[in-house]
Amino acid sequence: MAGEALIVIDVQNDFCPGGALAVADGDRVVAPINALIAQFGHVILTQDWHPAGHSSFASTHPGKKPFETAAMPYGEQVLWPDHCIQGSSGAAFHSDLEWAKAELVIRKGFRRAIDSYSAFFENDHQTPTGLAGYLRERGIERLTFAGLATDYCVAYSALDARRSGFAATVVMDACRAIDLGGSLAAMTEKMRAAGVEQA
Ligand code: VGL
Ligand code: ZN
């Protein structure tokens, strides 16, 4: 029988209330995710993990403010407040997240010149993180996603899961969105069209 895994996306302090890129009610995903972690046989986490001066930070683009965009060699990039700096407390998992059972932590966004929303590919949609190969070698074919943020890292990961041949379900109650300029509705529709199930 095909293996299944839960992929918990970026449940980190900087995406929770009080954090550098706080998602509204971001901490409310922790309890439902802990319940999912208890149910699943295999759990994988992602961790947004940027070096200081990362190119996705507005602070590295003179004259730009957070939530504006910049043209990058790989396409348009939203510019964010500095967040999830490698090794910082903001980059740590929420202290109530029961992550000990996780078998793999995929860190992403660690190359200065390129952002990485998806657990599978960096934002050029070409540079792999290695997750697809890891899952295939382990016979895992069905993925369930939860975490932060619904319309960025969760949606990009679920869409790339489908493109890479995996079945994908997003547990919407265990996600919260940034919702910039209608991004939640747009990404929800893209996921639906790509065959991402919503639970
Ligand atoms: C994320 C914006 C920047 C996310 C990460 O986890 O959705 N969003 N970095
Ligand atoms: Zn980031």
CB 148 within 8 A of CB 11: yes
* pLDDT-based confidence at residue 125 (cuts at 50, 70, 90): very high
The answer, yes or no, to whether residue 2 has pLDDT greater than 90, is no
Question: pLDDT digit string (tens) for 141-182?
Answer: 999 999 999 999 999 999 999 999 999 999 999 999 999 999
Q: Determine the Cα–Cα distance for residues 151 and 17; give it in Å rounded to an integer.
A: 18
Question: pLDDT digit string (tens) for 23-72?
Answer: 999 999 999 999 999 999 999 999 999 999 999 999 999 999 999 999 99
Residue 16 DSSP class: S
| Atom number of ligand 1 nearest to Cα 84 | 9
Q: Determine the Cα–Cα distance for residues 148 and 117; give it in Å rounded to an integer.
A: 10
Place of tokens 């379900």: 169
Residue 25's identity, in one-letter code, is: D
Residue identifier of the C-alpha nearest atom 3 of ligand 1: 80
Residue 100's identity, in one-letter code, is: A
Helix (H) or strand (E) run with residue 167 in it: strand 167-176
pLDDT of residue 107: 98
pLDDT of residue 184: 98
Q: Determine the Cα–Cα distance for residues 182 and 159; give it in Å rounded to an integer.
A: 18
pLDDT of residue 53: 98
Distance 117 CA to ligand 2 centre (A): 7
Mean pLDDT of 113-136: 98
Q: Which residues surround ligand 1 with Cβ inside 6 Å?
A: 10, 15, 48, 80, 117, 148-149, 152-153
* pLDDT-based confidence at residue 15 (cuts at 50, 70, 90): very high
List 142's β-bridge partners, or say none. 4, 167
* Ligand nearest to the backbone CA of 83: 2
> CA-CA distances (angstroms) from residue 189 to 85, 89, 171, 197?
31, 34, 15, 11
* Ligand nearest to the backbone CA of 118: 1
CA gyration radius, the chain:
16
List residues with catalytic annotation: 10, 108, 153
pLDDT of residue 174: 98
* pLDDT-based confidence at residue 18 (cuts at 50, 70, 90): very high
Residue identifier of the C-alpha nearest atom 2 of ligand 1: 152
| Atom number of ligand 1 nearest to Cα 151 | 7
CB 80 within 8 A of CB 66: yes
Distance 1 CA to ligand 1 centre (A): 33
On the CB side of 174, how many CA atoms lie within 13 Å of its CA?
Answer: 24
Question: pLDDT digit string (tens) for 70-89?
Answer: 999 999 999 999 999 999 99
Q: Determine the Cα–Cα distance for residues 72 and 8; give it in Å rounded to an integer.
A: 28
